[in-house]
Structure 1
Amino acid sequence: MILEVADIRIKPGQQAPFEKAVQFGLDTVIAKSEGFRGYQVRHSVESPDRYVLMLEWDTLEDHTIKFRSSPAFAEWRSIVADFFAQPPFTEHFDLALSSAEKVE
Protein backbone atom coordinates (compact mmCIF):
# COMPACT_ATOMS: atom_id res chain seq x y z
CA MET A 1 0.00 0.00 0.00
CA ILE A 2 1.11 3.55 -0.77
CA LEU A 3 0.18 6.62 1.26
CA GLU A 4 -0.17 9.83 -0.71
CA VAL A 5 0.25 12.90 1.50
CA ALA A 6 -0.83 16.27 0.09
CA ASP A 7 0.01 19.39 2.09
CA ILE A 8 -2.68 21.90 1.13
CA ARG A 9 -2.84 25.64 1.86
CA ILE A 10 -6.19 27.23 1.16
CA LYS A 11 -7.32 30.82 0.85
CA PRO A 12 -8.16 32.42 4.22
CA GLY A 13 -11.65 31.98 5.57
CA GLN A 14 -12.58 29.14 3.21
CA GLN A 15 -12.41 26.22 5.65
CA ALA A 16 -16.10 25.21 5.67
CA PRO A 17 -16.68 25.36 1.89
CA PHE A 18 -13.31 23.70 1.24
CA GLU A 19 -14.12 20.80 3.56
CA LYS A 20 -17.52 20.38 1.89
CA ALA A 21 -15.91 20.38 -1.57
CA VAL A 22 -13.20 17.92 -0.54
CA GLN A 23 -15.79 15.55 0.94
CA PHE A 24 -17.83 15.73 -2.25
CA GLY A 25 -14.78 15.17 -4.49
CA LEU A 26 -13.46 12.29 -2.42
CA ASP A 27 -16.80 10.50 -2.27
CA THR A 28 -17.94 11.07 -5.86
CA VAL A 29 -14.69 11.07 -7.84
CA ILE A 30 -11.65 9.63 -6.08
CA ALA A 31 -13.53 6.82 -4.32
CA LYS A 32 -14.34 5.35 -7.76
CA SER A 33 -10.68 5.29 -8.85
CA GLU A 34 -8.85 2.03 -9.42
CA GLY A 35 -6.58 1.12 -6.52
CA PHE A 36 -8.03 3.68 -4.11
CA ARG A 37 -8.41 2.33 -0.56
CA GLY A 38 -9.35 5.21 1.75
CA TYR A 39 -8.55 8.67 3.04
CA GLN A 40 -8.13 11.01 5.97
CA VAL A 41 -8.29 14.79 5.91
CA ARG A 42 -6.53 16.57 8.77
CA HIS A 43 -6.91 20.26 9.60
CA SER A 44 -4.04 22.09 11.28
CA VAL A 45 -4.68 23.36 14.78
CA GLU A 46 -1.99 26.05 14.56
CA SER A 47 -2.46 27.08 10.91
CA PRO A 48 -6.17 27.38 10.07
CA ASP A 49 -5.58 27.54 6.31
CA ARG A 50 -3.54 24.31 6.21
CA TYR A 51 -4.80 20.78 5.57
CA VAL A 52 -3.13 17.43 5.09
CA LEU A 53 -4.92 15.04 2.77
CA MET A 54 -3.84 11.41 3.14
CA LEU A 55 -4.97 8.94 0.51
CA GLU A 56 -4.24 5.22 0.48
CA TRP A 57 -3.59 3.53 -2.87
CA ASP A 58 -2.79 -0.08 -3.74
CA THR A 59 0.24 1.01 -5.79
CA LEU A 60 2.11 4.19 -6.66
CA GLU A 61 1.01 3.78 -10.28
CA ASP A 62 -2.65 3.72 -9.26
CA HIS A 63 -2.23 7.33 -8.20
CA THR A 64 0.55 8.75 -10.37
CA ILE A 65 -0.37 7.09 -13.67
CA LYS A 66 -3.92 5.71 -13.64
CA PHE A 67 -5.63 8.43 -11.61
CA ARG A 68 -3.59 11.44 -12.69
CA SER A 69 -3.92 10.60 -16.39
CA SER A 70 -7.65 9.95 -16.14
CA PRO A 71 -10.55 12.38 -16.60
CA ALA A 72 -11.23 11.88 -12.87
CA PHE A 73 -8.12 13.91 -11.98
CA ALA A 74 -9.38 16.94 -13.92
CA GLU A 75 -12.80 16.50 -12.32
CA TRP A 76 -11.25 16.35 -8.82
CA ARG A 77 -9.16 19.45 -9.46
CA SER A 78 -12.16 21.36 -10.78
CA ILE A 79 -13.91 20.72 -7.45
CA VAL A 80 -11.06 21.80 -5.13
CA ALA A 81 -8.53 23.92 -7.05
CA ASP A 82 -10.24 27.29 -6.59
CA PHE A 83 -9.66 26.99 -2.83
CA PHE A 84 -5.86 26.57 -3.14
CA ALA A 85 -3.69 29.49 -2.05
CA GLN A 86 -0.77 27.71 -3.75
CA PRO A 87 -0.29 24.36 -5.47
CA PRO A 88 -0.35 21.44 -2.98
CA PHE A 89 2.90 19.66 -2.15
CA THR A 90 2.46 15.91 -2.61
CA GLU A 91 4.67 12.97 -1.65
CA HIS A 92 4.20 9.20 -1.50
CA PHE A 93 5.18 6.93 1.38
CA ASP A 94 5.68 3.23 2.10
CA LEU A 95 4.96 1.91 5.58
CA ALA A 96 8.18 1.44 7.55
CA LEU A 97 6.83 0.93 11.08
CA SER A 98 3.43 0.83 12.75
CA SER A 99 2.09 0.55 16.28
CA ALA A 100 -0.20 -2.17 14.93
CA GLU A 101 2.82 -4.33 14.08
CA LYS A 102 4.54 -6.00 17.00
CA VAL A 103 8.14 -7.10 16.73
CA GLU A 104 8.74 -10.46 18.40
Structure 2
Amino acid sequence: MITEHALLPVIAGQEAEFEAAFAEARGIISAMPGFRTLSLSRSAETPNTYLLLVEWDTIEDHTVGFRGSAEYQQWRALLHRFYEPFPVVEHFTRVL
Protein backbone atom coordinates (compact mmCIF):
# COMPACT_ATOMS: atom_id res chain seq x y z
CA MET A 1 0.00 0.00 0.00
CA ILE A 2 1.11 3.56 -0.82
CA THR A 3 -0.04 6.81 0.77
CA GLU A 4 -0.13 9.86 -1.47
CA HIS A 5 0.46 13.06 0.51
CA ALA A 6 -0.30 16.57 -0.79
CA LEU A 7 -0.59 19.93 0.92
CA LEU A 8 -3.12 21.85 -1.13
CA PRO A 9 -2.66 25.65 -1.00
CA VAL A 10 -6.10 26.94 -1.97
CA ILE A 11 -6.41 30.57 -3.03
CA ALA A 12 -7.66 32.51 0.00
CA GLY A 13 -11.38 33.20 -0.16
CA GLN A 14 -12.12 30.20 -2.39
CA GLU A 15 -12.22 27.54 0.34
CA ALA A 16 -15.99 26.93 0.16
CA GLU A 17 -15.93 26.59 -3.63
CA PHE A 18 -12.93 24.25 -3.38
CA GLU A 19 -14.66 22.03 -0.83
CA ALA A 20 -17.77 21.81 -3.04
CA ALA A 21 -15.66 20.94 -6.10
CA PHE A 22 -13.71 18.37 -4.08
CA ALA A 23 -16.94 16.69 -2.98
CA GLU A 24 -17.71 16.14 -6.67
CA ALA A 25 -14.13 15.14 -7.53
CA ARG A 26 -14.08 12.52 -4.77
CA GLY A 27 -16.45 10.36 -6.81
CA ILE A 28 -13.98 10.42 -9.71
CA ILE A 29 -10.92 9.29 -7.79
CA SER A 30 -12.73 6.74 -5.65
CA ALA A 31 -13.81 4.82 -8.77
CA MET A 32 -10.23 4.36 -10.00
CA PRO A 33 -8.51 0.95 -9.94
CA GLY A 34 -6.15 0.65 -6.99
CA PHE A 35 -7.86 3.39 -4.95
CA ARG A 36 -8.41 2.44 -1.31
CA THR A 37 -9.46 5.53 0.65
CA LEU A 38 -8.83 9.24 1.09
CA SER A 39 -9.06 11.96 3.67
CA LEU A 40 -9.11 15.72 3.23
CA SER A 41 -8.31 17.88 6.26
CA ARG A 42 -8.21 21.65 6.66
CA SER A 43 -5.41 23.39 8.58
CA ALA A 44 -6.43 25.01 11.85
CA GLU A 45 -3.55 27.49 11.60
CA THR A 46 -3.76 28.25 7.87
CA PRO A 47 -7.41 27.74 6.84
CA ASN A 48 -6.70 27.89 3.11
CA THR A 49 -4.29 24.93 3.32
CA TYR A 50 -5.63 21.39 3.07
CA LEU A 51 -3.96 18.04 3.64
CA LEU A 52 -4.94 15.33 1.15
CA LEU A 53 -4.04 11.72 1.95
CA VAL A 54 -4.95 9.04 -0.56
CA GLU A 55 -4.19 5.35 -0.15
CA TRP A 56 -3.43 3.37 -3.30
CA ASP A 57 -2.52 -0.27 -3.88
CA THR A 58 0.62 0.82 -5.80
CA ILE A 59 2.37 4.03 -6.85
CA GLU A 60 1.56 3.15 -10.47
CA ASP A 61 -2.17 3.06 -9.68
CA HIS A 62 -1.81 6.78 -8.96
CA THR A 63 0.95 7.96 -11.29
CA VAL A 64 0.10 5.88 -14.37
CA GLY A 65 -3.46 4.65 -13.91
CA PHE A 66 -5.14 7.73 -12.45
CA ARG A 67 -2.96 10.50 -13.88
CA GLY A 68 -3.01 8.87 -17.31
CA SER A 69 -6.78 8.50 -17.41
CA ALA A 70 -9.57 10.56 -18.94
CA GLU A 71 -11.03 10.77 -15.42
CA TYR A 72 -7.93 12.66 -14.28
CA GLN A 73 -8.74 15.37 -16.82
CA GLN A 74 -12.13 15.79 -15.11
CA TRP A 75 -10.42 15.89 -11.68
CA ARG A 76 -7.98 18.47 -13.00
CA ALA A 77 -10.75 20.65 -14.46
CA LEU A 78 -12.59 20.64 -11.14
CA LEU A 79 -9.68 21.30 -8.78
CA HIS A 80 -6.45 22.63 -10.28
CA ARG A 81 -7.76 26.19 -10.69
CA PHE A 82 -7.89 26.56 -6.89
CA TYR A 83 -4.16 25.98 -6.21
CA GLU A 84 -1.55 28.71 -5.84
CA PRO A 85 1.16 27.51 -6.01
CA PHE A 86 0.58 24.05 -7.44
CA PRO A 87 0.93 21.38 -4.73
CA VAL A 88 3.86 19.02 -4.33
CA VAL A 89 2.74 15.39 -4.19
CA GLU A 90 4.79 12.67 -2.52
CA HIS A 91 4.25 8.95 -1.97
CA PHE A 92 4.96 7.12 1.28
CA THR A 93 5.16 3.49 2.35
CA ARG A 94 4.24 2.56 5.91
CA VAL A 95 7.16 1.75 8.20
CA LEU A 96 5.33 1.05 11.46
The interval holding the TM-score normalised by the smaller chain is over 0.9
- CA distances 1:1-42 after superposition (whole Å, capped 9, x unpaired): 100011110111111111111111012x11110100110001
Query: Who is 1:102 aligned against?
Result: none
After TM superposition, list the pairs within 5 Å mapping 1:1-104 onto structure 2: 1-27=1-27, 29-97=28-96
Aligned Cα root-mean-square deviation (Å): 0.8
Deviation of residue 56 (structure 1)? 0.6
How many residues are matched? 96
What TM-score do the two structures reach when normalised by structure 1? 0.89
Unpaired stretches in structure 2, ≥5 consecutive residues: none
Report the 3-state secondary structure (helix = DSSP H, G, I; strand = E; otherwise coil) of the residue aligned with 1:51.
Answer: strand
Deviation of residue 60 (structure 1)? 0.7
What TM-score do the two structures reach when normalised by structure 2? 0.96
Corresponding letter in the other structure for 1:16: A
* % identity of equivalent residues: 40
Which consecutive segments of 4 or more residues in structure 1 shift more than 3 A?
Answer: none
Query: Who is 1:101 aligned against?
Result: none
